[in-house]
Chains A and B, each alone.
Chain A
Amino acid sequence: TQLLEQSPQFLSIQEGENLTVYCNSSSVFSSLQWYRQEPGEGPVLLVTVVTGGEVKKLKRLTFQFGDARKDSSLHITAAQTGDTGLYLCAGYNNDYKLSFGAGTTVTVRA
């Protein structure tokens, strides 16, 4: 059983469309992180959110942390083919162990 549930598992959209990926848990996290992983590589950190209700923007990516610090979302505006990849959310609920969701595979078609 995953501590963090991500949805959807797969997402395929046309270039220029918007998309949202969700990360939910019944546990409270001190912080949540979003990573992107491309084939043959390790995950790369995109953002860390630490405050309930926090919204962070990174160019066309918007990250939100739920008020209760149990859930988060990633929204991509006007997706580009370069946004294709596996998006992973991860959270700390103790000092050192980072728990990962199963990931959302995003494919942006040209």
Chain B
Amino acid sequence: GAGVSQSPSNKVTEKGKDVELRCDPISGHTALYWYRQSLGQGLEFLIYFQGNSAPDKSGLPSDRFSAERTGGSVSTLTIQRTQQEDSAVYLCASSMRVQETQYFGPGTRLLVL
């Protein structure tokens, strides 16, 4: 079956522009997670969804970051007014239920010039 997919795989944007990153989780997975991975760093938790609800948004770095999930499936992470420090790999993962095995997508590599 299909794994977690993310699009685009790479995104280059100019400072100040908005970007949208998409995650398609494994069908039937109720939990969905967004992480950020910077060079030389581990994964930084951003937000997670249980169904369409995001009980914990505390990992979002600033109010320029937002995320939503619709229909208990696809999720979109939006970064407004991008800054150079937003450059990183954004990874999405899904699991059948919270605290069960997380399956990761290949990530979106974001470069802000």
Contacts and interface: CB of A to CB of B under 8 A. Distances in A.
B31 to A, nearest CB: 8
Given A42-B105, A42-B107, A95 B45 contact: no
Interface string A36-65: 000011111100100000000000000000
Nearest to B50: A96
B43 A96 contact: no
Contact of A95 (B40, B44, B98): B98
Contacts of B4: 42
B93 interface: yes
Interface residues of B, number: 25
A42 B98 contact: no
A1 B16 CA distance: 29
A100 B89 CA distance: 15
A30 to B, nearest CB: 9
Task: Count chain B CB atoms within 10 A of each CB in A4, A96, A99 and give the residue with the most.
Answer: A96
B13 to A, nearest CB: 20
Given A102-B41, A103-B42, A43 B98 contact: no
A5 B80 CA distance: 32
B102 interface: yes
21 contacts: A6-B42, A9-B40, A40-B106, A41-B106, A42-B91, A42-B107, A43-B43, A44-B104, A45-B102, A88-B42, A90-B43, A95-B98, A95-B99, A96-B56, A96-B98, A98-B33, A98-B43, A98-B45, A100-B42, A100-B44, A102-B41
Query: Which 10 residue pairs of A and B lie closest in terms of their CB atoms, listed nearest first?
Result: A42-B104, A100-B42, A100-B43, A102-B42, A96-B98, A101-B42, A43-B104, A41-B106, A42-B105, A42-B91
Given A44-B104, A98-B33, 17 more contacts: A2-B42, A9-B40, A40-B106, A40-B107, A41-B106, A42-B4, A42-B106, A90-B42, A92-B99, A97-B56, A99-B45, A100-B35, A100-B43, A100-B44, A101-B42, A102-B41, A103-B42
